[in-house]
Structure 1
Amino acid sequence: MESLLTDRLSTLSHPQRMAVFRLLMRRCPDALPAGEIAAVLDLKPSTASVYLSALTQTQLITQQRKGTQLLYSVNLATARDVVACLFFDCCRGRADLCPPSYSDLLNGLPKMTDKKFNVLFVCTGNSARSIFAETILRDMAGDRFTAYSAGTIHRSELNPLAVEMLQAKGHDVLSLRSKNVSEFQQDDAPQMDFVFTVCDQAANEECPTWPGQPISGHWGMPDPVKAEGTEAEKRLVFHQTYGALHNRLQSFTALSLDLLDRAALQKQVDDIGKLEQE
């Protein structure tokens, strides 16, 4: 066991191998193709292949074939083993020696309390998908959730077709504005209970740790802003995106948050992210 732990730590000691591992951890439970991993981390395909092979050999990540593609995902069981070996062996399971966040895990994951929850939806531009999600949740369950949205790029504006779609669905759009994620990382920002990324690019980015350890989920879907074709065809794509987010948020708001512990809730959130787009 000690030799295996040493091999795994040695594998993760390489900055770029660690970058691959961290990317797959951020995208958990998604499985990513090698090409996307290489593109996100700006690696040559051959270099990415070497890193992926090393991580696979030490079982830190898993590999699966889908058609002609090889897909990679983080191996959570191994990641837990590494952490457990470090803290349970070195700290002997003493909560006073382990980091506070890990001490919580030792004592069991608490359930969400009965309160009004803050939810943040993040995408690249905060022009369509995250704006849809913010508005839908606000009007679907505003008594239980305070919805926010933000983008990771610094300059953006609401997409006219997105605004048109929301108005057509009967939503009030007067208070909507495009925001940057940095607005929600200030000391005086509301503390989030849930943070959802709704595009792959935002999920792939390495953002600062959110205070309070909110439940996070990746509900990625194609960007309707990039749709091509006639105006009618573009509007159809916006309609499909709206419908997919509406379905996911219906499932989310139906969860019994006061009855689920954080581990069970995280699984439910991940499962909702796998719902097919209309």
Structure 2
Amino acid sequence: MYPCRVLFICTGNSARSILSEATLNHLGKGRFEAFSAGSKPTGRVNLHALEQLKSTGMPGEGFASKSWDRFADAGAPPLDIVITVCDNAANEACPVLFGDFVKAHWGLPDPAAAQGDRALTEAFRQAHALIVRRITALLQLPVETMPRNALQEALDQIAMITGNDGENA
């Protein structure tokens, strides 16, 4: 499992899944290869997501809102982990993808739902900070040698990371 291929899925593939893809590719260079997709892609990446990436020194170019269908096709890259990032608490319908990979749900509120420029900027900052904390925890795992059930358990534990400044639920 090298690199470990991770697909982040959300409904629109315009914010949370893009931030997750960009962050794992940036922080996990070499060990991980991240992708993102949506069940109902908006067709555009949220500009606040790109601005948030740039503000933290991560690349903000080359991202596109795309359908998860491309990862179900015969020529799609094999996936090791699929993580949904939609917010069940807000009654968002999280996509379901079938395949031989470990599945996890790392739900977080949609920062694009915030109203006003200042609120949007802060919502994207907070969402990205949570994504960074969760991905940092993922990077600490020996995914290359972990049994599947241990990886599943670890991913479920990472999903419990919430709050600001490292607070856990």
Asked if these proteins are the same fold (TM beyond 0.5), I'd say: yes
Query: Could you say which residue in structure 1 is the equivalent of 2:29?
Result: 142
Identity over the aligned pairs, expressed in percent? 33
Structure with greater helix percent: 1
Query: Could you say which residue in structure 2 is the equivalent of 1:253?
Result: 139
**Which amino acid in structure 2 is aligned with residue 159 of structure 1?**
N
For the residues of structure 2 that align with 1:244 and 1:119, how far apart are their CA atoms?
18
Match of residue 43, structure 2, among 148, 156, 175 = 156
User: Unpaired runs of 5+ in structure 1?
Assistant: 1-112
For the residues of structure 2 that align with 1:134 and 1:121, how far apart are their CA atoms?
7
Deviation at 1:172, TM superposition (A): 1.6
1:117-170 superposed Cα distances (whole Å, 9 cap, x missing partner): 111000011111000000000010121111100011044311111111111111
User: Unpaired runs of 5+ in structure 2?
Assistant: 165-169
Deviation at 1:206, TM superposition (A): 4.2
Query: Could you say which residue in structure 2 is the equivalent of 1:221?
Result: 108
**Which amino acid in structure 2 is aligned with residue 250 of structure 1?**
T
User: CA 1:238/1:192 → structure 2, altered by over 3 Å: closer, same or farther?
Assistant: same
Pairing of 1:173-252 with structure 2 (within 5 A): 173-199=60-86, 200=88, 201-203=92-94, 205-207=95-97, 209-210=98-99, 213-228=100-115, 230-252=116-138
For the residues of structure 2 that align with 1:269 and 1:161, how far apart are their CA atoms?
27
Answering whether residue 3 of structure 2 is matched by residue 116 of structure 1, we say: yes
1:49-78 superposed Cα distances (whole Å, 9 cap, x missing partner): xxxxxxxxxxxxxxxxxxxxxxxxxxxxxx
Pairing of 1:11-30 with structure 2 (within 5 A): none
1:231-277 superposed Cα distances (whole Å, 9 cap, x missing partner): 11221110000000000000001101244211111110001001113
SS, match of residue 217 in structure 1: strand
Query: Could you say which residue in structure 2 is the equivalent of 1:274?
Result: 160
Query: Could you say which residue in structure 2 is the equivalent of 1:70?
Result: none
User: CA 1:146/1:134 → structure 2, altered by over 3 Å: closer, same or farther?
Assistant: same
User: CA 1:121/1:206 → structure 2, altered by over 3 Å: closer, same or farther?
Assistant: closer
For the residues of structure 2 that align with 1:142 and 1:202, how far apart are their CA atoms?
31
User: CA 1:258/1:159 → structure 2, altered by over 3 Å: closer, same or farther?
Assistant: closer
SS, match of residue 24 in structure 2: helix
Query: Could you say which residue in structure 2 is the equivalent of 1:165?
Result: 52
Match of residue 127, structure 1, among 14, 19, 37 = 14
- Say which structure, 1 or 2, has more relative contact order (CA 8 Å, 6+ apart): 2
TM-score, structure 2 as length reference: 0.89
**Which amino acid in structure 2 is aligned with residue 146 of structure 1?**
E
Query: Could you say which residue in structure 1 is the equivalent of 2:167?
Result: none
For the residues of structure 2 that align with 1:271 and 1:135, how far apart are their CA atoms?
22
User: CA 1:162/1:258 → structure 2, altered by over 3 Å: closer, same or farther?
Assistant: closer
Q: What RMSD in Å do the two structures reach over aligned CA positions?
A: 1.4
**Which amino acid in structure 2 is aligned with residue 272 of structure 1?**
I
Residues 120 and 150, structure 1, Cα contact 8 Å, conserved in 2: yes
User: CA 1:167/1:241 → structure 2, altered by over 3 Å: closer, same or farther?
Assistant: same
